[in-house]
Chains A and B, each alone.
Chain A
Amino acid sequence: GAGVSQSPSNKVTEKGKDVELRCDPISGHTALYWYRQSLGQGLEFLIYFQGNSAPDKSGLPSDRFSAERTGGSVSTLTIQRTQQEDSAVYLCASSLGPRSYEQYFGPGTRLTVT
């Protein structure tokens, strides 16, 4: 079946602009995660959605970052007023449930802020 998909695959934006990154999880997966991979910080958690529960935003680095998940499926990560330190690969993952389930990752969106 189809895996996790993300779009765009690459995004170049100017400092100060807003960007939206999209994630389509595996059909039937109720849990959705966003992670970020950067040279200095490795792979780090950003935000977690489970069903209709309030998201866990504990990993978001600043209030410029927000995310939503519509209809329990597609998710959008928005970064406002982008900064150069936001340059990274943004990875989305999904799993069947919230605990002790295998997570499957999408191909990522490479964001470059110039």
Chain B
Amino acid sequence: GIQVEQSPPDLILQEGANSTLRCNFSDSVNNLQWFHQNPWGQLINLFYIPSGTKQNGRLSATTVATERYSLLYISSSQTTDSGVYFCAVEPSGGSNYKLTFGKGTLLTVNP
């Protein structure tokens, strides 16, 4: 099946710093989503981005489908940005539309 690798696995920042999270995937995809899992375990949708670039406030994401990677940018980080960030993909082809998740990046933003 498709492989999804996220880096870095852990990231510690001071409030106000910027960061880039990366997601590499091993095959072509129909769907790529970025999620933030908050301390209560809820998966919050950040971006649906199988290709191209999107921005939402301090967050933006870029997916280069031909090179099989996606980047999530967090600017001016806040303590509320802490949590685990997951990349998940739906591979092209086949009949199962499940998402395959990476192992996540644990982000800690210190005040």
A contact residues vs B (CB 8 Å cutoff): 31, 33, 35, 37, 42-45, 48, 50, 56, 58-59, 89, 91, 93, 95, 98-105, 107-108, 110
- Tally of A-B Cβ pairs under 8 angstroms: 58
Q: Mark B36-49, 1 if CB is under 8 A from A, else 0.
A: 00001111010010
A42-B103, A108-B42 known; A100-B31 Cβ under 8 A: yes
Q: Which residues of A contact B43 (CB under 8 A)?
A: 91, 105
Docked-complex contact B50 and A107, CB < 8 angstroms = no
**A105 contacts B31, C-beta separation under 8 Å:** no
B residues less than 8 Å from A98 (CB atoms):
97
- Residues of B in contact with A, size category: 20 to 34
- Residues in chain B within 8 A of chain A (CB atoms): 30-31, 33, 35, 40-43, 45, 48, 50, 86, 88, 90, 95-101, 103-104
Other A-B contacts than A100-B30, A100-B90, A103-B99, 17 sampled, CB-CB below 8 A, are: A33-B99, A43-B88, A44-B101, A45-B100, A50-B97, A56-B96, A58-B96, A89-B41, A91-B43, A93-B99, A99-B30, A100-B31, A101-B31, A102-B33, A103-B31, A103-B88, A105-B45
